[in-house]
Structure 1
């Protein structure tokens, strides 16, 4: 209760401090760090007075957290450790690399592109084992999921729309990927049907079986559309990284000085 009262008091004081006119222009401070209105704009890219009360409090709280941590880093002399400094730079480089990669062109993964990939890779979609196209639902309560199962048989998905039951997705699973109780349930269900409610993790799972593909069967495009999309996205990501690396090497001509091998 004390913590809640202190948090509420801190929030009120912070809001009051933000709205109060200060001749020095300081809107927040922590230790020896002070934030002025001009500094806030430089730090965040926003004008303090243009923000709503909640957003202003959130941004100033973020600045205070950073200011306190930065001073503690200095006090502990963490940046005097070369290992820590190197790790900090590596993390920053990963972040900025992700930004640069996001600016690389990324063509849309269209249905026609997926169909073309499927047509050119037929052998990849022959099942080495029995496989099942399934759709699963999860809920903490066994009884609630049983009620949902009965409703789903009547095409009523109100509980799903309300978030009462979580839709886990639809995917193609091989027999080896399913745990024994689920595999048994799927094998004893007709396509289009539902398994019984089964224990899973800290709750319960219900599975709808859409299609069965015996070992050696050729999968249809609908069954592997998601798989192809993921593959194309992976290939696209690899190409973007290669383009970025090639561009950087071309412009900066990196060299390691020393004896050539």
Structure 2
């Protein structure tokens, strides 16, 4: 996308990481923006040079990734960026109570994502048995709590009947965490969470982005022990798509029975 002084600029690593909820927000709102993508070097050093050569020359008060530039406003910190976009595009609820609930969900999802990230960058991320154990303990407890909240709230989306930034944060961070072995089966047990993720996937504004640009990004940086390659991305999503195709195929080829 060609850069314009009137466009927002979003900078982050070439992965979903902590930046994808903001990307989803920008895509959902059909905002014209320029993306500055930074890449890690190859193993074993995984150089950060591509970022470091620009880090202190961008006018950022607290140089870090992700960053967002909007006119004379330069922001860092993933949640500050997400909340700013939420306010800018009216995706933070309709009143103070809804805004508080949205931010609470975003913070809770962030805690899950950080735990998942720390685990996947650790040596244990290389072990299938440890991944299953992490899913059964840490991830399951978060999913259980999210499901209970959604059951109590009884709205189409996480907070209210229209998407908010909480839906995008929940979608990406839960989807990432459930890429671990057993994640698909876990979501089958918690239908409120599963249905929320599906509603986000089916949003017309995201129907092209999620299966394409989103799908081409690894969950984490390439040096992580799990999630650093595209082939481990969003397994729950791929399974859902495959199952949907199978169901539609069987339905269309089912022989008619005379009554």
TM-score by length of structure 2 reads: 0.21
Instruction: Give 1 or 2: higher strand fraction.
Output: 1
Asked which structure has the greater RCO (Cα within 8 Å, sep 6+), the reply is: 2
Larger Rg: 1
